[in-house]
Amino acid sequence: MTEAGIWFGVDYYPEHWPKSQWKADVKLISEAGFNVVRLAEFAWCRIEPSPGRFDFSWLDEIIGELAEKGIKAILGTPTAAPPPWLVKLHPDILPMSYQGHRMPPVARRHYCPNNPNYLRATERVVKALAEHYKDEPNVIGYQIDNELSLGDEYCYCEHCVQLFREWLERKYGDIDELNKAYGTIFWSHEYGDWTEIHPPTPPFDRCNRGLALDWLRFRSESFIKFLELQVGIIRSVSPDKKITTNLMGLFPGIDYYELSRLLDFPSWDCYPKFRHVDYDPAWVAMLHDATRCMGRDRSYWVMELQAGPTDGYHGHPIGVTPEPGELRKWAYQAIAHGADGVIYFRWRTACFGKEQYWHGILNHDGEVNRRYLEVKRLGEELEKVKDLVAGTKYRSNVGLVFSYEALWSTLIEEGYYTMSYHDQVLSLYKGFWLHGINVDVISPNEDFMRYNVLLTPFLYLTNRSLITRLKKFVYNGGILIATARTSVKDEYNRVHSDGLPGGLMDLFGMKVTDYTCLPAERRASILMEGRVIQAVGWLEELTPSSAQVLGVHDYEWLKGRAAVTVNRYGEGYAVYVGSFPSSDIANHIVKVLIKRGIIKPLVRVEGDHLELTVREGSHYRVVFLINHEGRDKSVKLYFAKAFRIKGLLKGGTSHGDKHEYELELGPHDAEILYLEE
């Protein structure tokens, strides 16, 4: 979807405002430079006011008004909010708790994705929507549902239970195979037939590990199938319309990498300052990098970008208001990571309903305000840079593996671990982010051969195919870096019985022979190349067979034992760090990779709280530079080669003989540098 260069827009709810307001809204929307608007994702009760009776007149009208200003529409399929008449007609669409209570239909997302009545109602409304707009050029595509699986309880209705049993039967074929895979002899759980199986209930740490993991897989697949139903309808009616859905970063409910295979491109909802006053911009960056890599061709959108203070948290009635510059900066951050579209949530703040304080660009009064003027300025800037930027791609030689299966396996465990799976992935990611090195955050099913360096932090669970592919990657010359608790579990969520890292001892040329958890109040370090590096969370004693020792523990009874090893395997190297990745460890890894010339950064930036990414075009590159602090900054950049440089937003230039570039950034400011050799 590059016809706009960069899609720039806002989520708009015409159904929340009198019609007399629409023209004025559309005028301001257009004057801000927006070229796309998302509509109707919660408007089922207006689209189908009673069973089978459809009314698109109001939607046609607003799409027409927008089209007059050259603004396109993305339509939400409205299935995240089943209307009251549907609940009345089919109360069984409501998800059911294990105790047999139906979820009350008081908010949204009150449906079971496996309920046949819900599937029929979904088919009918999606088909009607797709049919109605199939020849409407101003509708460019669809967002399926809204934040699939958010906040839903696990549904234990008869359909879910029955389908889960069938799912297990298809997977294991024979009940004895399932018994073996799960180890159901533990606590006398051996099943005689499929109907004896009950889905596990939270907290899952008291349940059989294999059963709990299969339940999470089944639930993820249920939502993917629900999405697939809608995708199928839209594709058969209007194959030329684009299909996406709005994800939530690396939210655990659904394997987003699997889901995204069905989409033309994924998108996500980005609220940096929701609840977190001092949010970490590296976390936001990582979610951009993950969502991009979920996309089949590495293109993605932000479907909802924070546009004002969010609603309350911890006793505060509303969230912190974004400071001047932050709205603009967040959009540039998305584009810096490869987004083709950025849409703010929402246009004007609602005066009624649930989200009265989840602010849009405009406040409740609808007047032009500071935030509007900021996005309008951004709109003008994007108009100038869009062609150059759209001609480039975010590329990386470094792949960081995020495994939903490993995540789920850790979520099922007791006490979770000192650091969560997300934290550990972030910690390693951040080492690269701080050095301004592009990273792809990929699924374990990705083709590893496109990378030089593969990072697999806390890859707690593996399967046979992943083990083979990791070995192949290294054998063919790749550099693999793993951290503590790698391949502890097999695909049935059982601990490997033949030593750790399970199935990978030959790859790493060592065995984990002892370990301890490291509570936060205990300090430990690793001694490596004359340096003291802080360890966190977990320590492992590594006993090498063929590996070389790179670092040793400096901790009580583990003192002097191997903590970091490297093994030559085929043409490549497999590095193992016997601790969770502290920021110190992450930083050290990056420095060593740079020193050895394994990664070659194009540019180095001096200063704190700066983010840098590179997008590559055919004969030029663009460098994005973002100031994540609310104060002025003088910045110096050092380039690996001499470039002719032009500042696209601020207008500075340098000539071909220079390796350095200096500029001033204001609070939360951004610059895009155009580079030609």
Tokens encoding 25: 């809204």
CB atoms near residue 138 (< 10 Å): 15
Q: Do the beta carbons of residue 483 and residue 581 sit within 8 Å? A: yes
103 binds Zn ion (CB under 5 A): no
- The secondary structure element, H or E, covering residue 676 is strand 670-676
Nearest distance from C-beta of residue 146 to ligand GAL, angstroms: 5
Q: Do the beta carbons of residue 324 and residue 473 sit within 8 Å? A: no
Which listed residue (75, 157, 250, 564) binds Zn ion by CB under 5 A?
Answer: 157
Nearer CB in complex with Zn ion: 148/526:
148
Q: 674 forms bridges with which residues in the sheet?
A: 622, 646
- DSSP assignment of 160-180 equals HHHHHHHHHHHHHSSHHHHHH
Number of residues in contact with ligand GAL under rule CB under 6 A:
7
Residues 646, 584: Cα–Cα separation, whole Å: 35
CB atoms near residue 588 (< 10 Å): 22
Nearest distance from C-beta of residue 323 to ligand GAL, angstroms: 20
Residues 11, 270: Cα–Cα separation, whole Å: 13
Nearest distance from C-beta of residue 38 to ligand GAL, angstroms: 10
Q: Which does 146 bind (CB under 5 to 8 A by kind): ligand GAL, Zn ion, none?
A: ligand GAL
Which listed residue (153, 190, 355, 413) binds ligand GAL by CB under 6 A?
Answer: 355
410 binds ligand GAL (CB under 6 A): no
β-strands 7-11, 603-606 pairing: unpaired
Tokens encoding 562: 């191997």
Nearer CB in complex with Zn ion: 155/307:
155
Nearest distance from C-beta of residue 307 to ligand GAL, angstroms: 10
Nearer CB in complex with ligand GAL: 309/478:
309
Tokens encoding 340: 């083709």
- Say which of 136, 304, 374, 671 is annotated catalytic: 304
214 binds ligand GAL (CB under 6 A): no
Nearest distance from C-beta of residue 143 to Zn ion, angstroms: 24
Nearest distance from C-beta of residue 159 to Zn ion, angstroms: 5
**Please, which residues have CB within 8 angstroms of residue 625's CB and are 6 or more apart in sequence?**
605, 610, 611, 612, 635, 637, 663, 665, 670, 671, 672, 673
413 binds ligand GAL (CB under 6 A): no
Task: Check if 147 is active-site.
Answer: yes
Nearer CB in complex with ligand GAL: 210/308:
308
CB atoms near residue 561 (< 10 Å): 18
Q: Which region among 35-43, 160-168, 376-384, 641-649 touches Zn ion (by CB under 5 A)?
A: 160-168
Nearer CB in complex with Zn ion: 51/116:
116
Site for ligand GAL in 290-349 (CB under 6 A): 304, 345
Nearer CB in complex with ligand GAL: 304/374:
304
Q: Which does 487 bind (CB under 5 to 8 A by kind): ligand GAL, Zn ion, none?
A: none
Nearest distance from C-beta of residue 164 to Zn ion, angstroms: 9
Residues 159, 565: Cα–Cα separation, whole Å: 50
Nearest distance from C-beta of residue 446 to ligand GAL, angstroms: 27
Nearer CB in complex with ligand GAL: 218/345:
345
Q: Which does 624 bind (CB under 5 to 8 A by kind): ligand GAL, Zn ion, none?
A: none
Nearest distance from C-beta of residue 80 to ligand GAL, angstroms: 8
Nearest distance from C-beta of residue 165 to Zn ion, angstroms: 13
269 binds ligand GAL (CB under 6 A): yes
- Say which of 136, 147, 374, 446 is annotated catalytic: 147
155 binds Zn ion (CB under 5 A): yes
149 binds ligand GAL (CB under 6 A): no
Residues 214, 222: Cα–Cα separation, whole Å: 12
Q: Which does 304 bind (CB under 5 to 8 A by kind): Zn ion, ligand GAL, none?
A: ligand GAL
CB atoms near residue 77 (< 10 Å): 26
Count helices and strands (H / E) in the chain. 17, 31
Which listed residue (226, 358, 404, 639) binds ligand GAL by CB under 6 A?
Answer: 358
146 binds ligand GAL (CB under 6 A): yes
Q: Which does 155 bind (CB under 5 to 8 A by kind): ligand GAL, Zn ion, none?
A: Zn ion
63 binds Zn ion (CB under 5 A): no
Which listed residue (37, 160, 211, 586) binds Zn ion by CB under 5 A?
Answer: 160
112 binds Zn ion (CB under 5 A): yes
Closest residue by Cα to residue 36 from 148, 142, 127: 142
User: If you ran DSSP here, which 8-state letter would residue 450 be given?
Assistant: G
Q: Which does 286 bind (CB under 5 to 8 A by kind): Zn ion, ligand GAL, none?
A: none
Q: Do the beta carbons of residue 656 and residue 644 sit within 8 Å? A: yes
**In 4-146, alpha helices (H):** 19-31, 44-47, 57-68, 84-89, 116-133
Residue nearest to ligand GAL (CB): 358
Nearer CB in complex with ligand GAL: 110/209:
110
How many Cα atoms are found within 13 Å in the side-chain-facing hemisphere of 367? 3
**Please, which residues have CB within 8 angstroms of residue 651's CB and are 6 or more apart in sequence?**
none
SS3 sequence, 293-337? HHCCCCCEEEEEEECCCCEEECCEEECCCCCCCHHHHHHHHHHHC
Residues that bind Zn ion (CB under 5 A): 112, 114, 155, 157, 160
Residues taking part in catalysis: 147, 304
Interface with ligand GAL by CB under 6 A: which residues?
Answer: 146-147, 269, 304, 345, 355, 358
